[in-house]
Structure 1
Amino acid sequence: MTVLEVNNIETYYGAIQALKGVSFQVERGEIVTLIGSNGAGKSTTLKSISGLAKVKKGAILYNGQDITNKQAHETTLMGISHVPEGRRIFANLTVKENLLMGAFSVKGKAVIEERMENVFTYFPRLKERMNQKGGTMSGGEQQMLAIGRALMMQPNLLMLDEPSMGLAPIVVEQIFEIILQLNEMGITILLVEQNAYQALSIAHRGYVIQNGEIVLTGTGKELAENEEVKEAYLA
């Protein structure tokens, strides 16, 4: 079943066209990755889906429903969680307070506590740091917190924007292992990642985006073995 269908979308920043007819789809239970260079349109694609960037043309369907240009809080309530580039945690709030912010629409203290415990099963370090302010933690811990906050809404579709950025290699391995675990638990994942090697190693399928256009698609394995992809992104 198709969870996400992006049809020929065009997105602008003022007069500058960032996306030029981007189309792709994500099936239920998949990890799909978008790879490309800086400024290619990867982050804009995620922002267009979640409602943080306005789509001028085209359509975005989520579980068959048109969500084009819905507000970000609306797409979140529908089951789409977006972990933005740069993590964007609340630096002056504690780990617990950050997680509670992620459950802004969840009713019932017991439900919220249960979800928080679920987050701690993936990220036990967050439980150890529960009363620590987010801004005082390491980059890897902040990335864990950003993902944990998104999980508080129990998303059907988790969109991750550059989760490995600025992290030490050993922490990157941990983050990607957790992404695999989340997928195995039934969460569909759309992953934007400059670390193409890591992304393609776990993705079921991938798309290469250049200058706001999808130029290549295939399974993770096919793209990892493609000579053009290897030369441009895996060298």
Structure 2
Amino acid sequence: MSLLELKGVHAYYGAIEALKGVTLTVEEGEIVSLIGSNGAGKSTTLKAICGQINTTGSIRFHGTEMSSLPPHRAALEGIAHVPEGRRIFPRLTVKENLEMGAFSMRDKKTIKQRMEMVFDHFPRLRERLTQTGGTMSGGEQQMLAIGRALMMQPRILLLDEPSMGLAPIIVEQIFDIIQQLNREGMTVLLVEQNAFQALQIAHRGYVMQTGEILMEDAAELLLVNEQVKEAYLA
């Protein structure tokens, strides 16, 4: 049984069909990259998994049907979503943002332990603990967004365009951290326009176009696929 399985998922924004029968799987312990151009439906796929839009078809997470459940249940089931644009709370401090990630926890000792785990991955956040999120750099905000998601101790991390708007050296750091988290057992579904970098760290990849899955293969094979190279890696 796959950790995450979508079968024939359709989603609409008004009369516009954004997802047209999407089928994909993510196995436990994998990094799976979902690549495609703007408007392909990548972000919509993540929103569908989290219950943020109405869908038809099946979305199963660890055997539980998610498509009929409210969005907060996705978080409680162990799905953490880091949305495009980071969406931190700009007026809250780093500490307060991280505490928001542990909204379902009441045990202060556990929250502190999780925060220390986040600091192990992102030492800079410890240095910025009392700084408000909105005054941080784009890279620091991305670290905070991922750190907030990790406070949930999720079973899967959904990352939407983590490299967007960041300097190349910061992008490299973020992707290194994603790999490190995966080596520690975190399952990752990565949506990314930087197809080359996304496929370099992934086990498998899906190529999406106008709401449909165009192809699926091992990441190393997609990197040398001529169609993929011409469309997304040139």
Alignment of 1:110-129 (within 5 A): 110-129=109-128
Q: Deviations over 1:27-61 (max 9, x none)?
A: 01000010000000000000000111110x21100
**Corresponding residue for 2:93?**
94
**AA matched with 1:160:** L
In structure 1, the gaps of 5 or more residues are none
Is the CA contact 1:48–1:69 (under 8 Å) kept in the aligned structure 2?
Answer: no
**Corresponding residue for 1:46?**
46
Alignment of 1:22-171 (within 5 A): 22-55=22-55, 57-171=56-170
| Structure 1 position 179 matched with structure 2 position 186 | no
Shift, 1:101, TM fit? 0.5
SS in 1 for 2:3: strand
Shift, 1:69, TM fit? 3.5
SS in 2 for 1:130: coil
Q: Deviations over 1:79-116 (max 9, x none)?
A: 00000000000000000000000000012100000000
TM value normalised by structure 2: 0.99
In structure 2, the gaps of 5 or more residues are none
Structure-1 separation of matches of 2:69 and 2:158? 16
Q: Deviations over 1:96-144 (max 9, x none)?
A: 0000000000121000000000000000000000000000000000000
Aligned residues: CA RMSD: 0.6
SS in 2 for 1:194: coil
Segments of 4+ moved more than 2 angstroms: none
**AA matched with 2:190:** L
Alignment of 1:190-209 (within 5 A): 190-209=189-208
Aligned residues: 234
**AA matched with 1:32:** V
SS in 1 for 2:84: coil
Structure-1 separation of matches of 2:224 and 2:32? 17
Shift, 1:70, TM fit? 1.8
**Corresponding residue for 1:16?**
16
**AA matched with 1:195:** N
Structure-2 separation of matches of 1:111 and 1:225? 45
Quote the sequence identity (%): 66
**AA matched with 1:176:** F
Shift, 1:65, TM fit? 1.1
Shift, 1:71, TM fit? 1.7
Structure-1 separation of matches of 2:145 and 2:161? 12
Structure-1 separation of matches of 2:182 and 2:51? 23
Shift, 1:230, TM fit? 0.5
